[in-house]
Chains A and B, each alone.
Chain A
Amino acid sequence: MDYVLLVEQLLNGFQLGIILFLMAAGLTLVFGIMDLVNLAHGSLFMIGAFVGGTLALATDSFVLGAVLMVPAMFVIGVLLETIALRTLYRRSHLDQVLATFGLILFFNEATRLIWGPEGLVIPLPDFLEGTVALGAGITYPLYRVVIIGVGLLVALGLYLLVAKTRFGMLVRAGASNRTMAGALGVNIPALFTLVFGIGAVLAGLAGLIITPITQAAIGMGEDVLILAFVVIVIGGIGSVRGAFIAAVLTGVIDTMGRSFLDLLLLLVLPANAAEAAGPALASMLIYILMAGILFFRPQGLFPPRGATVIQ
């Protein structure tokens, strides 16, 4: 087998994993700490792409647009939390699913109204074009390397924030016992708002960062949202570390399956059967993985310590 292709696809899978992690990190914190099913997290992915893209086009600089997107997404996240979602914390999961589903319809339509149905194309700045040589005859697009780098930095930052700072300590305290943390004087509602704002920034960053490769489109966050669900179910709800490992696992397995599964099947099946079964099986691979993991570990791979047991 061509090892150059293999390494390239591995990196592509890793890059998809990074995007999934940025989405899943926010989702898993919101789930774990606030016990809120937020389907509108996918909308934040989309809004990040559109808002960040517009800022980039307005300032004529992708980097400046990305930097300006951070406070913009934070404000949008905080507004969304205080206006719409705060009232949902005490409601059943069913109510949360419904209300946030309604929000998706609203955001999709609002985006269509503001930016038109065609979406938004954001060109890659010149200095991010081109490829880098990784040695041993392997070249890889520079921008994808940048995505991986940014994602790893964010993951590291998030780890330090949650594990090493006073804010992170409060977040963890709120996650394991909301009432007790509140009784000890932690302002839980303000903490929730802050966490939600950070989640919104991460989702928006994921949306913006992928846009030069794909493009900003209405409903772009929905497929990623469902993949992010798979990721946090595999990783264990509420665990950022679990989200990271599961995201990379999901990204790599999905990408590798799509590229190489038909070749693998050729070893055991006749050519035409392998060609038909390959893509079908590849598209199901991560769900099979999820089902398998759930069968043996219903709490996911890394359930957070001290969290309430679900079953």
Chain B
Amino acid sequence: MTRRLTPAGTVTALVLALCAAVPYLAPALDEPFYVIVFARIMIWAIAAVSLNLIMGYGGMISFGHAVYLGIGGYAVGILGFHDVTSAWVQLPVAIGLSAVVALVFGVICLRTRGIYFIMITLALAQMVYFLSVSAERYGSDDGLNILWRSDFGTRLFDLEDSVVMYYTIFAVLLGCLLVKWRIVMSRFGMVLRASSSNDTRVQAVGVPTFRYRLVAFVIAGVMCGLAGFLQANLERFVSPDMMNWHRSGELILMTVLGGTSTLFGPVVGAVVFLMLSEILSTITIHWHLVFGPFLVLVVLFARGGVMGLLGSRARHD
């Protein structure tokens, strides 16, 4: 039995194949710079995938999602600063800290809906941002250099090797997509989607939606914290700018650009967004002048993003 490949499915396969092949393609095309560009894109894609879990399926528009990038990143940066470079310490701290912060923020934010939710997530993220700016010991605005990437203690798996680094990011991206797919398809995901379209009704059926939404919020935070962990390792640098509210806005943009409530949309969105800014910024330094109105037009006329244009229907809406 053969299944026709949909346009959206084709794009998904092509993008993943491209991501997998870049470390070999780029040097062959004499553009080795593209390896790091794609590593960055994939990290943003992980963050956007995590945001889409709560935004696309749970209706929770977090305008402070980049805060977990910063938390995951600073876990590496600050521990490295104190000469703790073992990944077996850094990784659990990055994940645990993201989870705790997401739990606390979730308990506060999820009491509210709509505009309030958007603004409170923004404000709470801003709080952590200013905390990092005020931390003079850890470089304040200037950020913190990371001398050694996280050390897994084995030669076989050494992040200092750029190919290993690249494919680690790729593997994490695949893993996050898998986790998200499993969540969305499960009963848990169904409650999440149902609660985003009519919370009162789901509660009336007897499902304590708050707990479901909180757990989703924490999962998304941890996933994004993982992206921050990878970003700090890739760039060997962390700074408050990682969790600047512009980054949170960009994450939302990527998700919408690719298509909310689609499994793979955020990845496509990250590719389109970052490639577009890469290309536009080489044409003119004032590229935001074109990019800003472009975003407005996307919002107004291209609902459903790239995946929507390709005919992949959002799972609800």
Whether A284 touches B123, Cβ cut-off 8 Å, given contacts A99-B300, A102-B295, is no
Q: How many residues of B contact A (CB 8 A)?
A: 43
Q: Which residues of A have CB within 8 Å of B55?
A: 94
Smallest Cβ-Cβ distance to B123: which chain A residue: A230
Q: Is B288 a contact partner of A93 (Cβ separation < 8 A)?
A: no
The segment from A10-18, A62-70, A108-116, A173-181 found at the interface with B is A108-116
Q: Which of B234-263 contact A (CB under 8 A)?
A: 245, 249, 252-253, 256, 260
- The answer to whether A84 touches B296 (Cβ under 8 A) is yes
Contacts of B295 in A (CB 8 A): 98-99, 101-102, 105
Q: Tell me the A55-113 residues at the B interface (CB within 8 Å).
A: 84, 87, 91, 93-95, 97-99, 101-110, 112-113
Chain A residues lying within 8 Å of B287, measured Cβ to Cβ, are 109
Give A247 to B116 CA distance when docked, in angstroms: 17
Whether A106 and B289, one on each chain, are in contact in the complex, defined by CB atoms closer than 8 angstroms, is yes
Partner of B296 from A102, A110, A113 at Cβ < 8 Å: A102
Is A298 touching B124 in the complex (CB atoms < 8 A)?
A: no
Instruction: Given A103-B296, A294-B108, decide whether A97 and B118 contact each other with a Cβ distance below 8 A.
Output: yes
Q: Which residues from chain B contact A95 at a C-beta distance below 8 Å?
A: 299-300
A103 and B292 contacting across the interface, CB-CB below 8 Å? yes
Q: Which residues of A contact B47 (CB under 8 A)?
A: none
Could you say which of B24-32, B36-44, B76-84, B125-133 contacts chain A?
A: B125-133
Q: Does B211 contact A (CB under 8 A)?
A: no
Give chain A residues whose Cβ lies under 8 Å from the Cβ of B61. 93-94, 97
Q: A37-B118, A233-B123 are in contact. Are A97 and B112 (CB under 8 A)?
A: no
Bound CA span A266–B85, Å: 34
- Contacts of B105-138 to chain A: CB distance below 8 A: 108, 111-116, 118-120, 122-124, 126-127, 130-131, 133-135, 137
Query: B interface vs A, CB < 8 Å?
Result: 55, 61, 63, 108, 111-116, 118-120, 122-124, 126-127, 130-131, 133-135, 137, 245, 249, 252-253, 256, 260, 286-289, 291-296, 298-300
20 inter-chain pairs at a CB distance below 8 angstroms, sorted by A residue, are A37-B118, A37-B119, A91-B299, A93-B61, A97-B249, A97-B252, A98-B249, A105-B292, A106-B288, A106-B292, A109-B286, A226-B126, A229-B119, A230-B119, A276-B137, A287-B124, A287-B126, A295-B111, A298-B116, A310-B112
- Nearest first, the 7 A-B pairs at minimum CB distance are A106-B292, A102-B295, A105-B292, A287-B127, A109-B288, A283-B130, A229-B119
Binding site for B on A (CB under 8 A): 31, 35, 37, 84, 87, 91, 93-95, 97-99, 101-110, 112-113, 222, 226, 229-230, 232-233, 237, 276, 279-280, 282-284, 287-288, 290-291, 294-295, 298, 310-311
